[in-house]
Amino acid sequence: MARGADPGRVETPESGESREGRPERCTSVAGRGAALIEAVEDAMTEYQGVWGLALIDLDCDSAIIVRPQHSQYPASAGKVVILTAALRAVQDGLLDFAAIEENVELVLHHSLDKSTDEIAELVTPEQVGAVMTQAGVSWYSYLEWSWRHAWFRPHDLALVWASILRGEQLDEAWTAHLLQLASEVVLPQGMETFPADFGAEGYQYGQKAGYWTPEDDTDHFVGAGYVFPEDRTSAGFTFAFLLESWEEEVEEPKRRAVFPLVRDFVLGEVELSRQEQAAVAER
């Protein structure tokens, strides 16, 4: 890590803001978030590369950000912006869903570049920009009409997913459709950063992964998406883990050690919410 760099932080709503409707656990999430930051840093010790992680808690409106200055090309993970822009156009009656239906499935299931290019030809730069604006991304991150010209900080990519999960980009039906397809992703062996399966029953989990491994450049890996409990005891979480690696082996284990830490944190927070809800019901 560069000298003077911010190793990580937990962003929570200002103390003066209303906490009405938020779980009680939100008052102490900063401490648990700090522990997660430390655990992730330990897991990534001596990693041959640069990286950053963001995890947004929709219930608490908080964000755990590890190495917040990190930014990079998001590879195929940025395609979710193009897909969202296209589905918004369908929702607004500007595009026939039949024209993109097959390609949307191919992109979310198999991340086909050709299918993304064909969808991108049917949306405008303004429509793509509207998705980024709605998500509230910072000026550090951008994605042009061609998805290959993109740059993201992890927190900004997690914000895109948060805006989708909250239903701010699409109506309920189209949101559900996009999230369902993202939960059916097929990841090539060795290229995954976060796995295709969440590894815990009772959760819906999905992502738009990214991976770019050129012979003459650093490898790029991204895991970005969402998770929420199927019983809806929590609004859910979104995440983005972006890495540039010069590890010799593509299947190196260090980046994969981060997912169990994030998953266990999510499971713990949801369990706290359930305990709170059960206590209220007993009163």
- Could you tell me the CA-to-CA distances from 52 to 106, 113, 222, 242 in Å, in that order? 28, 25, 10, 6
- Could you tell me the CA-to-CA distances from 191 to 238, 246, 276 in Å, in that order? 20, 14, 39
Beta-carbon-side half-sphere exposure of residue 161 (alpha carbons within 13 Å): 34
Q: SS in 3 state form for 94-148?
A: CCCHHHCHHHHHHHHHHCCHHHHHHHHCCCCHHHHHHHHHHHCCCCCCEECCCCC
Architecture of domain 24-282: 3-Layer(aba) Sandwich (3.40)
Domain ranges across the chain: 24-282
Residue-wise pLDDT tens digits, 147-180: 899 999 999 999 999 999 999 999 999 999 999 9
User: What average pLDDT does this structure show over 104-131?
Assistant: 97
Judged against a pLDDT cut of 70, whether residue 234 lies above it is answered with yes
- The model's confidence at residue 2, banded by pLDDT at 50, 70 and 90, is very low
The pLDDT assigned to 19 comes to 63
Give the 3-state secondary structure of residue 72: strand
User: What average pLDDT does this structure show over 133-143?
Assistant: 96
Q: What is the pTM of this model?
A: 0.95
